[in-house]
Structure 1
Amino acid sequence: MTRILIADDHDIVRDGLRALLETRADWTVVAEASNGQEALELATATQPDVVILDYSMPIMNGVEVVRQLRARRLRAEVLVFTMHDDDGVIREALQAGVRGYLLKADARSHLVEAVETLARHEAYISGKVSGALLDAVLDGRSRTGSLLTARERTIVQLIAEGRTNKEICPLLQISIKTVETHRASALRKLGIRTTADLIRYAIRNRMIEA
């Protein structure tokens, strides 16, 4: 029996994924999460074989969830399920240890195949992500969207969601000084000074919803 966790902040998306997955008698959805922190906690508690993670989730994005899953030595295969097909996001996901990447536009036709592939511990990349783009991501030639590090992007997202530096510390298990360092670095790289500018950047880059 393949055990699956679904993490997406939209109820209708989780319902649709569950309906597709439950067409297989040998698969079971063991948990559903609506934000990144919940996904991490439920994955730790239920030990699924495959985790389906939306990239853009509240509190903790999909890539940060993967980083913390790997830090906890959880062996679940991860399928990042997203509308994002830019190379910056793909590179972050691969570098974090993701072996599956599926665009939401491909879900109806390819979700079952993607989960089957990951359940065999093989990599699966959505058909709409070109081979050339994947090669560029893997060898580091691609630079689009790479201005911020994965940790800086996570902190920008949390700040844009209204989290204080003190609230971010336990979520990412880092010190307040480290949060402040990443925040300052992100602001410097982006050429902005205020939290309002940072929120506008996060909305413009689809890190949070307006």
Structure 2
Amino acid sequence: MTGVLIVDDHPVILQGFRRVVEDAGVAMILEAADPVSGYRLFHRIRPQVAVVDLAFRGSGLAGLALIRRMRALEPRARILAFSMHRDPVVAARALEAGAIGYVFKDLPVGDFLAAFDAVRAGRPYLPHRLATQIASLGAASEPSRYDTLSAREIQVSILLREGRDYRFIADNLSIGYRSVVNTCASIRKKLGARTQAELLGMILAVEDLGSHG
């Protein structure tokens, strides 16, 4: 996979994005002004990173469906949701759809580049305050909940926080794939996370997971 695709219906945003990522050393930049064109480009080119706005004129939050289709087509897709929406519910829906990062359009360029670099490297990214808000959607993340995690569950949580998939975690910890699946299910139950998005928000909101357990 090569290049970066941005899907946004604001010409000024597209122009600014191109300038920023060119300065960051990206050579191939693809642009689409609507979800249909964005999906066609993604299907044909399979870019390394897709940056997707959530709201499109006349189509509501059509970006969520686009992210979901991209993820279904390419399970390894590295997708950054790029939005003016600060509602943690909307952000959680973007993560559930398949984005691994979420960043606000009005943040400084340096913050956007931090998010872009993280997602390009396959690591999750959420602004800290947003991560905390998403975590609170499912249940309050009291320190005592993290204290109930076993050493193995903390190891797995740290690797999840780094954006590692189940196969990588299994190989890294020298355990079976099914053991990773079961451990993640146990972590969600202990932390009270109903979904993977809530779990990711909880993990990213903790300053130092290694201090628990």
TM-score range, shorter chain: 0.5 to 0.7
1:56-71 pair list within 5 angstroms = 56-58=55-57, 59=59, 61-71=62-72
Does the C-alpha gap of structure 1 residues 109 and 65 become closer, same or farther in structure 2, counting only changes over 3 Å?
same
- Matched with 1:23 is 23
Cα distance in 2 for residues equivalent to 1:2 and 1:117: 16
- Number of aligned residue pairs: 138
Task: Provide the rounded CA distance (Å) in 1 between the counterparts of 2:126 and 2:72.
Answer: 23
Taking the aligned partners of 1:39 and 1:128, their CA distance within structure 2 comes to: 30
State the TM-score, normalized to the length of structure 2: 0.59
Partners of 1:107 and 1:31 in 2: how far apart?
Answer: 22
Answer yes or no: is the 8 Å Cα contact 1:8–1:53 preserved in 2. yes
Moved beyond 4 Å, runs of 4+: none
* Counterpart Cα distance in 2 of 1:140 and 1:110: 28
Aligned to 1:133: 133
SS at match of 2:27: strand
SS of match in other structure, 2:29:
strand
Q: Distance in 2 between matches of 1:111 and 1:57?
A: 20
Structure 1 residue 134, shift from structure 2 partner: 2.3
| Alpha carbons 1:77, 1:99 under 8 Å: kept | yes
In the other structure, the counterpart of 1:153 is none
CA 95–140 in structure 1, closer or farther in 2 if over 3 Å, else same: farther
Give percent identity, aligned residues only: 27
The one-letter amino acid of 2:74's match is R
Matched, 1:110 2:99: no
Query: 1:113–1:132: structure 2 CA closer, same or farther, 3 Å change rule?
Result: closer
Is the counterpart of residue 50 in structure 1 residue 21 in structure 2? no
Q: Which runs of 5+ in 1 are unaligned?
A: 142-210
Pair 1:34–1:15, CA change in 2 (3 A): same
- Per-residue deviation, 1:9: 0.1
Q: Counterpart amino acid of 1:82?
A: S
Q: Which whole-Å deviations, capped at 9, do the CAs of 1:93-134 have from their partners, x for residues lacking one?
A: 1111111100011152312111111111100113552x4202
Partners of 1:87 and 1:113 lie apart in 2 by 20
Residue 100 of structure 1: aligned partner: 101
Q: Letter of the aligned partner of 1:76 in structure 2?
A: A
C-alpha displacement of 1:75: 2.7
Tell me which amino acid in the other structure corresponds to 2:118.
T
- CA distance in 2 between partners of 1:125 and 1:13 (Å): 20
TM-score normalised over the length of structure 1: 0.60
How far apart, in 2, do the equivalents of 1:123 and 1:135 lie? 15
User: Are 1:85 and 2:86 matched, yes or no?
Assistant: yes
Tell me the secondary structure at the aligned position of residue 28 of structure 1: coil
Q: Hey, what does 1:4 align to over in structure 2?
A: 4
Distance 1:110 1:93 in 2: 19
CA distance in 2, matches of 1:74, 1:30: 21
Query: Tell me, what secondary structure is at the counterpart of 1:112?
Result: helix
Question: Residue type matched to 1:132 in 2?
Answer: T
User: CA contact under 8 A between 1:54 and 1:62: conserved in structure 2?
Assistant: yes
Which amino acid in 1 is paired with 2:40? E
| Alpha-carbon contact 2:119-2:125 (below 8 Å) kept | yes
2:34 aligned partner: 35
